[in-house]
């Protein structure tokens, strides 16, 4: 493992891919690796891109990659593949389209399979994001495939959540309202070359919460139009990414719970246990990183 971590620190892409495969397969070694890598995390800006299939998420990502590369920055794209064989074709399409960019040294593209449970994907995504963060990418773009609960779950890991809609998404908005709508920081109405984009924008403005500023951008991802102002907003958000201590302590608690829960799921199925309060407290304070905390709890459990 030491050797792997050394190669990783030397920015070896093959090692990066190997480590992501470990977490994708929920390999028992993941916990140890993440414990080591955690100190290097917290620098990257994670952009979550979600929205209905075919809305233009991948096309938009291609455009964002161009801007990132132009700015001499690095980016990793993490795409969660659907397990459904029916959408296999479109994923292949995604791969080919991204290939153009993927060969650039500042760009790394990786898809994550949805093998296993919903919680399983969420955990693997979470761990993969940590690995990409530790590797040192300026941006990590997370593309999901739909607007269901899994997407809402994983979007919580993003610093900026972009919901991609199209002019015809009016009806979808009603069904999506609970969940994705609330966590979106930026709305993109893509395919604005088609009629209805302005109506769609008005509909969105009607849903505006008084507590949150609403950012809406009209784009044509395929043609590369309207991306500039979206990119400017993203850059602004990356630069102003500041540490909110209260939120951080909540987030640490959340990370620890995630890790413990999935470890328990793996090891103990649904067995009940007590909450190990002192480790929780130390992690919330930031005195202990959540992976160390989880290991400590699991060791105690093994002794019992
Ligand atoms: N007319 C139009 N088509 C677009 C636009 N952006 C993407 N597309 C097309 O929409 C289809 C789905 O795009 P894709 O990026 O794969 O969507 P995803 O499933 O959300 O990732 C593709 O055929 C794209 O070429 C756009 O702005 N206008
Ligand atoms: Mg796509």
CB burial of residue 208 (10 Å; 0-12, 13-18, 19+): exposed
Decide: pTM greater than 0.85: no
Ligand 1 binding pocket includes 169 (Cβ within 6 Å): no
Q: Angle, nearest 10°, between helix axes 277-285 and 245-268?
A: 140
CA angle 126/239/205 to nearest 5° reads 80
Instruction: Give 61 Cα–ligand 2 centroid separation in angstroms.
Output: 9
Q: What is the pLDDT of residues 153-186, one digit of tens each?
A: 778 889 999 999 999 987 777 776 567 777 889 9
Give per-residue pLDDT as tens, 43-65. Answer: 999 999 998 888 999 899 999 99
- Taking the domains of the chain in order of start, what are their residue ranges? 2-239, 245-303
| Residues whose beta carbons lie less than 5 angstroms from ion ligand 2 | 57-58, 94
Nearest CA, atom 13, ligand 1? 56
Q: What is the pLDDT of residue 86?
A: 27
2-239 CATH: 3.40.50.300
Rounded to whole angstroms, how far apart are CA atoms 133 and 280?
A: 24
């Amino acid at each position: 493992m030491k050797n792997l971590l050394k190669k990783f620190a030397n920015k070896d892409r093959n090692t990066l891919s190997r480590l992501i495969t470990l977490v994708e397969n929920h390999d028992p070694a993941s916990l140890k690796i993440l414990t080591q890598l955690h100190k290097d995390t917290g620098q990257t800006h994670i952009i979550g891109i979600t929205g209905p299939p075919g809305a233009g998420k991948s096309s938009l990502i291609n455009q964002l990659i161009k801007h990132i590369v132009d700015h001499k920055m690095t980016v990793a794209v993490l795409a969660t593949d659907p397990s459904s064989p029916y959408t296999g074709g479109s994923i292949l399409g995604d791969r080919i389209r991204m290939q153009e960019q993927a060969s650039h040294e500042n760009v790394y593209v990786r898809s994550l399979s949805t093998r296993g449970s919903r919680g399983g994907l969420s955990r693997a995504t979470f761990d993969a994001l940590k690995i990409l963060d530790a590797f040192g990418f300026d941006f990590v773009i997370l593309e999901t495939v739909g607007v269901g609960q899994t997407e809402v779950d994983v979007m919580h890991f993003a610093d900026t959540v972009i919901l991609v809609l199209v002019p015809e998404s009016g009806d979808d908005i009603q069904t999506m309202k609970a969940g994705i709508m609330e966590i979106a920081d930026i709305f993109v109405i893509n395919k604005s070359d088609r009629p209805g984009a302005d109506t769609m924008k008005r509909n969105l403005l009607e849903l505006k919460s008084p507590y949150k500023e609403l950012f809406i951008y009209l784009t044509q991802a395929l043609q590369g139009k309207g991306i500039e102002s979206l990119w400017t907003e993203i850059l602004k958000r990356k630069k102003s990414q500041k540490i909110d201590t209260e939120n951080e302590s909540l987030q640490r608690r959340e990370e620890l719970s995630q890790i413990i829960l999935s470890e328990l799921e793996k090891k103990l199925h649904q067995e009940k246990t007590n909450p190990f309060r002192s480790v929780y407290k130390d992690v919330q304070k930031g005195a202990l990183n959540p992976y160390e905390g989880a290991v400590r709890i699991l060791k105690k459990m093994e002794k019992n």
